[in-house]
Structure 1
Amino acid sequence: MAPHALLNKEAPSNLTLKDQHDQDVNLADRIGKSTIVLFFYPKDSTFVCTKEACAFRDRFEEIQKLGAEIIGVSADSVKSHEQFASKQKLPYTLLSDTEGQLRTAYQVPKLLFGFPQRTTYVIDKDGIISNVFESFFSYNYHITSVLKALQKDPEAEAQAEEDQTGEQEAQ
Protein backbone atom coordinates (compact mmCIF):
# COMPACT_ATOMS: atom_id res chain seq x y z
CA MET A 1 0.00 0.00 0.00
CA ALA A 2 1.31 3.47 -0.89
CA PRO A 3 2.10 5.89 1.93
CA HIS A 4 -0.73 8.19 2.95
CA ALA A 5 -0.71 11.48 1.00
CA LEU A 6 -0.44 13.54 4.21
CA LEU A 7 2.45 11.60 5.76
CA ASN A 8 5.28 14.02 6.68
CA LYS A 9 3.10 16.98 5.69
CA GLU A 10 1.55 19.73 7.80
CA ALA A 11 -1.61 18.55 9.54
CA PRO A 12 -4.84 20.30 8.55
CA SER A 13 -5.75 22.33 11.62
CA ASN A 14 -7.92 25.25 10.57
CA LEU A 15 -11.28 23.65 11.37
CA THR A 16 -13.34 24.09 14.52
CA LEU A 17 -15.58 21.25 15.68
CA LYS A 18 -17.68 20.63 18.79
CA ASP A 19 -16.51 18.16 21.41
CA GLN A 20 -18.65 15.92 23.61
CA HIS A 21 -19.19 18.86 25.99
CA ASP A 22 -20.48 21.09 23.14
CA GLN A 23 -17.29 23.19 23.34
CA ASP A 24 -15.48 24.48 20.26
CA VAL A 25 -12.17 22.74 19.59
CA ASN A 26 -9.67 23.85 16.96
CA LEU A 27 -6.64 21.61 16.43
CA ALA A 28 -4.54 24.69 15.68
CA ASP A 29 -4.92 25.64 19.36
CA ARG A 30 -3.52 22.26 20.46
CA ILE A 31 -0.63 21.85 18.03
CA GLY A 32 2.66 22.82 19.62
CA LYS A 33 1.54 21.92 23.12
CA SER A 34 1.91 18.16 22.74
CA THR A 35 1.98 15.39 20.19
CA ILE A 36 -1.57 14.62 19.06
CA VAL A 37 -2.97 11.15 18.46
CA LEU A 38 -5.97 11.83 16.22
CA PHE A 39 -8.06 8.74 15.56
CA PHE A 40 -11.00 8.58 13.19
CA TYR A 41 -13.51 5.82 13.86
CA PRO A 42 -16.78 4.94 12.12
CA LYS A 43 -19.48 5.15 14.81
CA ASP A 44 -20.11 5.51 18.54
CA SER A 45 -21.31 2.46 20.47
CA THR A 46 -20.61 -0.10 17.76
CA PHE A 47 -18.65 -3.21 18.71
CA VAL A 48 -15.22 -2.54 17.19
CA CYS A 49 -15.39 1.24 17.72
CA THR A 50 -16.19 0.76 21.40
CA LYS A 51 -13.27 -1.69 21.70
CA GLU A 52 -10.95 0.85 20.06
CA ALA A 53 -12.15 3.78 22.18
CA CYS A 54 -11.78 1.70 25.35
CA ALA A 55 -8.32 0.50 24.30
CA PHE A 56 -7.22 4.15 23.98
CA ARG A 57 -8.86 4.79 27.36
CA ASP A 58 -6.98 1.90 28.93
CA ARG A 59 -3.64 3.22 27.60
CA PHE A 60 -4.52 6.90 28.23
CA GLU A 61 -2.02 7.48 31.05
CA GLU A 62 0.76 5.68 29.20
CA ILE A 63 0.13 7.76 26.07
CA GLN A 64 0.02 10.95 28.15
CA LYS A 65 3.35 10.06 29.79
CA LEU A 66 4.78 9.74 26.30
CA GLY A 67 3.80 13.38 25.74
CA ALA A 68 0.70 12.89 23.61
CA GLU A 69 -2.94 13.93 23.72
CA ILE A 70 -5.67 11.63 22.34
CA ILE A 71 -8.53 12.99 20.23
CA GLY A 72 -11.21 10.76 18.70
CA VAL A 73 -13.31 11.82 15.69
CA SER A 74 -16.47 10.44 14.13
CA ALA A 75 -19.54 11.76 12.35
CA ASP A 76 -21.71 11.21 15.44
CA SER A 77 -23.52 14.10 17.10
CA VAL A 78 -22.34 15.95 20.20
CA LYS A 79 -25.11 14.23 22.19
CA SER A 80 -24.04 10.79 20.95
CA HIS A 81 -20.42 11.56 21.89
CA GLU A 82 -21.49 12.81 25.31
CA GLN A 83 -23.38 9.56 26.00
CA PHE A 84 -20.62 7.37 24.55
CA ALA A 85 -17.84 9.12 26.50
CA SER A 86 -19.87 8.99 29.71
CA LYS A 87 -20.86 5.34 29.40
CA GLN A 88 -17.33 4.19 28.47
CA LYS A 89 -15.59 6.63 30.86
CA LEU A 90 -13.44 8.10 28.09
CA PRO A 91 -10.99 10.66 29.52
CA TYR A 92 -10.12 12.28 26.19
CA THR A 93 -11.77 14.59 23.66
CA LEU A 94 -14.25 13.30 21.07
CA LEU A 95 -14.95 15.60 18.14
CA SER A 96 -18.24 15.63 16.27
CA ASP A 97 -17.51 15.79 12.52
CA THR A 98 -21.12 15.59 11.33
CA GLU A 99 -20.38 17.34 8.02
CA GLY A 100 -17.21 15.31 7.36
CA GLN A 101 -15.01 18.41 7.11
CA LEU A 102 -12.15 17.07 9.22
CA ARG A 103 -12.42 13.61 7.65
CA THR A 104 -12.15 15.20 4.20
CA ALA A 105 -9.24 17.45 5.23
CA TYR A 106 -7.37 14.38 6.51
CA GLN A 107 -8.25 12.36 3.40
CA VAL A 108 -9.88 9.57 5.40
CA PRO A 109 -11.56 7.33 2.81
CA LYS A 110 -15.08 6.01 3.12
CA LEU A 111 -15.38 2.25 3.01
CA LEU A 112 -18.06 -0.17 4.13
CA PHE A 113 -21.59 1.23 3.88
CA GLY A 114 -20.17 4.76 3.61
CA PHE A 115 -18.39 4.57 6.98
CA PRO A 116 -14.96 6.17 7.15
CA GLN A 117 -11.83 4.03 7.30
CA ARG A 118 -10.49 3.52 10.83
CA THR A 119 -7.44 5.80 10.56
CA THR A 120 -5.07 7.15 13.21
CA TYR A 121 -2.66 10.06 12.77
CA VAL A 122 0.25 10.99 15.01
CA ILE A 123 0.86 14.74 14.72
CA ASP A 124 4.13 15.99 16.18
CA LYS A 125 4.54 19.24 18.14
CA ASP A 126 5.48 21.05 14.92
CA GLY A 127 2.14 20.10 13.38
CA ILE A 128 3.61 17.51 11.00
CA ILE A 129 1.88 14.16 10.49
CA SER A 130 4.64 11.74 11.45
CA ASN A 131 2.63 8.50 11.27
CA VAL A 132 -0.60 7.25 9.71
CA PHE A 133 -2.17 3.90 10.64
CA GLU A 134 -5.09 2.41 8.70
CA SER A 135 -6.98 -0.77 9.48
CA PHE A 136 -10.75 -1.05 9.38
CA PHE A 137 -11.18 -4.08 11.64
CA SER A 138 -8.02 -4.27 13.77
CA TYR A 139 -8.39 -1.59 16.45
CA ASN A 140 -5.48 -3.20 18.33
CA TYR A 141 -3.17 -2.39 15.42
CA HIS A 142 -3.87 1.31 16.01
CA ILE A 143 -3.05 1.18 19.72
CA THR A 144 0.15 -0.85 19.39
CA SER A 145 1.32 1.22 16.41
CA VAL A 146 0.71 4.50 18.26
CA LEU A 147 2.64 3.27 21.30
CA LYS A 148 5.58 2.14 19.14
CA ALA A 149 5.60 5.47 17.27
CA LEU A 150 5.49 7.51 20.47
CA GLN A 151 8.22 5.43 22.09
CA LYS A 152 10.49 6.09 19.09
CA ASP A 153 9.80 9.85 19.17
CA PRO A 154 12.82 11.54 20.83
CA GLU A 155 10.65 14.35 22.25
CA ALA A 156 8.14 11.84 23.63
CA GLU A 157 10.95 9.74 25.08
CA ALA A 158 12.48 12.81 26.76
CA GLN A 159 9.08 13.77 28.21
CA ALA A 160 8.53 10.20 29.45
CA GLU A 161 11.98 10.15 31.08
CA GLU A 162 11.30 13.54 32.68
CA ASP A 163 7.96 12.32 34.03
CA GLN A 164 9.53 9.10 35.31
CA THR A 165 12.35 11.01 37.04
CA GLY A 166 9.78 13.30 38.67
CA GLU A 167 7.78 10.29 39.87
CA GLN A 168 10.89 8.64 41.35
CA GLU A 169 11.88 11.86 43.14
CA ALA A 170 8.36 12.17 44.56
CA GLN A 171 8.55 8.65 46.04
Structure 2
Amino acid sequence: MLHKGDPIPDIKLQDQDGKVVSLNHLKGTPLVIYFYPKDNTKVCTAQACGFRDNYEQFQGAGAEVIGISRDSSGSHKKVQNKRKLPFMLLSDPKKKALKAFGVPSSLFGLIPGRVTFVIDKDGKIAHTFRADFNADSHIKEALKVLKEL
Protein backbone atom coordinates (compact mmCIF):
# COMPACT_ATOMS: atom_id res chain seq x y z
CA MET A 1 0.00 0.00 0.00
CA LEU A 2 1.21 3.53 -0.70
CA HIS A 3 2.59 5.36 2.34
CA LYS A 4 3.15 8.91 3.52
CA GLY A 5 5.35 10.83 1.08
CA ASP A 6 4.67 8.56 -1.92
CA PRO A 7 3.40 10.33 -5.05
CA ILE A 8 -0.03 9.36 -6.29
CA PRO A 9 0.08 7.18 -9.40
CA ASP A 10 -0.87 8.65 -12.75
CA ILE A 11 -4.09 6.73 -13.23
CA LYS A 12 -6.89 7.60 -15.64
CA LEU A 13 -10.40 6.39 -14.81
CA GLN A 14 -13.94 7.19 -15.94
CA ASP A 15 -16.14 9.24 -13.66
CA GLN A 16 -19.87 8.76 -13.13
CA ASP A 17 -20.55 10.67 -16.37
CA GLY A 18 -18.14 8.58 -18.47
CA LYS A 19 -15.55 11.37 -18.61
CA VAL A 20 -11.90 10.26 -18.29
CA VAL A 21 -10.22 11.79 -15.24
CA SER A 22 -6.46 11.79 -14.63
CA LEU A 23 -5.51 11.83 -10.96
CA ASN A 24 -2.29 13.70 -11.75
CA HIS A 25 -4.28 16.52 -13.35
CA LEU A 26 -5.91 17.08 -9.97
CA LYS A 27 -2.62 18.13 -8.34
CA GLY A 28 -2.68 21.55 -6.76
CA THR A 29 -5.69 20.71 -4.60
CA PRO A 30 -5.65 18.47 -1.53
CA LEU A 31 -7.60 15.29 -2.24
CA VAL A 32 -9.37 12.72 -0.14
CA ILE A 33 -9.54 9.55 -2.21
CA TYR A 34 -11.50 6.75 -0.65
CA PHE A 35 -11.65 3.23 -2.03
CA TYR A 36 -14.76 1.24 -1.21
CA PRO A 37 -15.94 -2.25 -2.14
CA LYS A 38 -19.35 -1.82 -3.81
CA ASP A 39 -22.12 0.62 -4.64
CA ASN A 40 -25.46 0.24 -2.84
CA THR A 41 -24.23 -1.80 0.08
CA LYS A 42 -24.95 -0.81 3.68
CA VAL A 43 -21.48 0.25 4.85
CA CYS A 44 -20.47 1.76 1.49
CA THR A 45 -23.66 3.82 1.34
CA ALA A 46 -23.10 5.02 4.91
CA GLN A 47 -19.56 6.02 3.98
CA ALA A 48 -20.61 7.92 0.85
CA CYS A 49 -23.38 9.70 2.76
CA GLY A 50 -20.91 10.55 5.53
CA PHE A 51 -18.61 12.22 3.02
CA ARG A 52 -21.65 13.97 1.53
CA ASP A 53 -22.88 15.21 4.91
CA ASN A 54 -19.43 16.59 5.73
CA TYR A 55 -18.61 17.81 2.22
CA GLU A 56 -18.73 21.48 3.22
CA GLN A 57 -16.04 20.81 5.83
CA PHE A 58 -13.85 19.16 3.18
CA GLN A 59 -14.43 22.09 0.85
CA GLY A 60 -13.65 24.48 3.72
CA ALA A 61 -10.31 22.72 4.12
CA GLY A 62 -9.69 23.26 0.39
CA ALA A 63 -10.01 19.57 -0.43
CA GLU A 64 -11.89 17.57 -3.01
CA VAL A 65 -13.39 14.14 -2.27
CA ILE A 66 -13.22 11.26 -4.74
CA GLY A 67 -14.70 7.78 -4.30
CA ILE A 68 -13.30 4.82 -6.27
CA SER A 69 -14.70 1.31 -6.66
CA ARG A 70 -14.84 -1.41 -9.31
CA ASP A 71 -18.47 -0.57 -10.15
CA SER A 72 -19.36 0.86 -13.56
CA SER A 73 -19.81 4.54 -14.35
CA GLY A 74 -23.53 3.86 -14.80
CA SER A 75 -23.79 2.35 -11.33
CA HIS A 76 -21.92 5.33 -9.90
CA LYS A 77 -24.26 7.76 -11.66
CA LYS A 78 -27.30 6.06 -10.13
CA VAL A 79 -25.75 6.19 -6.65
CA GLN A 80 -24.70 9.81 -7.10
CA ASN A 81 -28.20 10.83 -8.14
CA LYS A 82 -30.03 8.74 -5.52
CA ARG A 83 -27.79 9.84 -2.62
CA LYS A 84 -27.20 13.40 -3.92
CA LEU A 85 -23.42 13.04 -3.75
CA PRO A 86 -21.63 16.32 -4.61
CA PHE A 87 -18.30 14.64 -5.41
CA MET A 88 -17.07 12.41 -8.21
CA LEU A 89 -17.06 8.65 -8.21
CA LEU A 90 -14.48 6.90 -10.39
CA SER A 91 -14.90 3.48 -11.95
CA ASP A 92 -11.99 1.01 -11.66
CA PRO A 93 -13.28 -2.25 -13.22
CA LYS A 94 -9.79 -3.45 -14.21
CA LYS A 95 -8.38 -2.68 -10.74
CA LYS A 96 -5.74 -0.29 -12.11
CA ALA A 97 -6.11 2.16 -9.23
CA LEU A 98 -6.60 -0.57 -6.61
CA LYS A 99 -3.29 -2.14 -7.67
CA ALA A 100 -1.40 1.14 -8.13
CA PHE A 101 -2.41 2.38 -4.67
CA GLY A 102 -1.85 -1.10 -3.21
CA VAL A 103 -5.30 -1.34 -1.66
CA PRO A 104 -5.46 -4.71 0.11
CA SER A 105 -8.45 -7.01 -0.11
CA SER A 106 -10.57 -7.84 2.89
CA LEU A 107 -12.66 -10.82 3.96
CA PHE A 108 -10.07 -13.40 2.93
CA GLY A 109 -9.39 -11.63 -0.37
CA LEU A 110 -12.99 -11.82 -1.53
CA ILE A 111 -13.74 -8.09 -1.73
CA PRO A 112 -11.66 -4.94 -2.23
CA GLY A 113 -10.66 -3.20 0.98
CA ARG A 114 -11.86 0.11 2.34
CA VAL A 115 -8.95 2.57 2.42
CA THR A 116 -8.85 6.36 2.50
CA PHE A 117 -5.87 8.36 1.25
CA VAL A 118 -5.36 12.03 2.03
CA ILE A 119 -3.21 13.64 -0.66
CA ASP A 120 -1.51 17.01 -0.29
CA LYS A 121 -1.60 19.73 -2.96
CA ASP A 122 1.71 18.43 -4.38
CA GLY A 123 0.16 15.06 -5.15
CA LYS A 124 1.89 13.17 -2.34
CA ILE A 125 0.27 10.87 0.18
CA ALA A 126 -0.14 12.72 3.48
CA HIS A 127 -1.99 9.92 5.28
CA THR A 128 -3.57 6.51 4.75
CA PHE A 129 -6.33 4.98 6.80
CA ARG A 130 -7.93 1.54 6.67
CA ALA A 131 -10.99 0.34 8.54
CA ASP A 132 -13.07 -2.14 6.59
CA PHE A 133 -16.30 -1.96 8.60
CA ASN A 134 -16.20 1.47 10.23
CA ALA A 135 -17.06 3.92 7.46
CA ASP A 136 -17.58 6.88 9.82
CA SER A 137 -13.98 6.75 11.03
CA HIS A 138 -12.72 7.50 7.49
CA ILE A 139 -14.46 10.89 7.47
CA LYS A 140 -13.22 11.90 10.92
CA GLU A 141 -9.65 10.78 10.21
CA ALA A 142 -9.50 12.55 6.84
CA LEU A 143 -10.81 15.85 8.27
CA LYS A 144 -8.31 15.67 11.13
CA VAL A 145 -5.39 15.21 8.71
CA LEU A 146 -6.58 17.98 6.38
CA LYS A 147 -6.57 20.45 9.28
CA GLU A 148 -2.92 19.56 9.90
CA LEU A 149 -1.79 20.10 6.28
TM-score in terms of structure 2 length: 0.96
The aligned residue for residue 144 of structure 1 is: 140
Runs (5+) with no aligned partner, structure 1: 154-171
Distance, in Å, in 1 between the alignment partners of 2:46 and 2:82 is 13
The aligned residue for residue 161 of structure 1 is: none
Shift of 1:5: 4.2
SS of the aligned residue for 2:112 comes to coil
More strand as a share of residues: 2
If asked which structure has higher relative contact order (CA below 8 Å, sep 6+), I would say 2
The amino acid that maps onto 1:43 is K
> Is the contact made by 1:6 and 1:106 (CA closer than 8 Å) also made in structure 2?
no
SS of the aligned residue for 2:105 comes to coil
Q: Residue 120 of structure 2: which of 114, 120, 124 is its match?
A: 124
The structure having more radius of gyration, on CA atoms, is: 1
Give CA deviations for 1:93-148 in whole Å, capped at 9, x if unaligned: 00000000001000001112621111000010111100001000001110100111
Q: Give the % identical residues.
A: 43
The aligned residue for residue 7 of structure 1 is: 4
Runs (5+) with no aligned partner, structure 2: none
The aligned residue for residue 93 of structure 1 is: 88
Q: 2:45 aligned with 1:50, yes or no?
A: yes
CA gap 1:5/1:90 in 2 versus in 1, 3 angstroms: closer
The amino acid that maps onto 2:103 is V
Q: Residue 39 of structure 1: which of 34, 49, 73 is its match?
A: 34
The aligned residue for residue 81 of structure 1 is: 76
The amino acid that maps onto 1:104 is K
Shift of 1:70: 0.2
Distance, in Å, in 1 between the alignment partners of 2:49 and 2:2 is 28
TM-score in terms of structure 1 length: 0.84
Aligned residues: 148
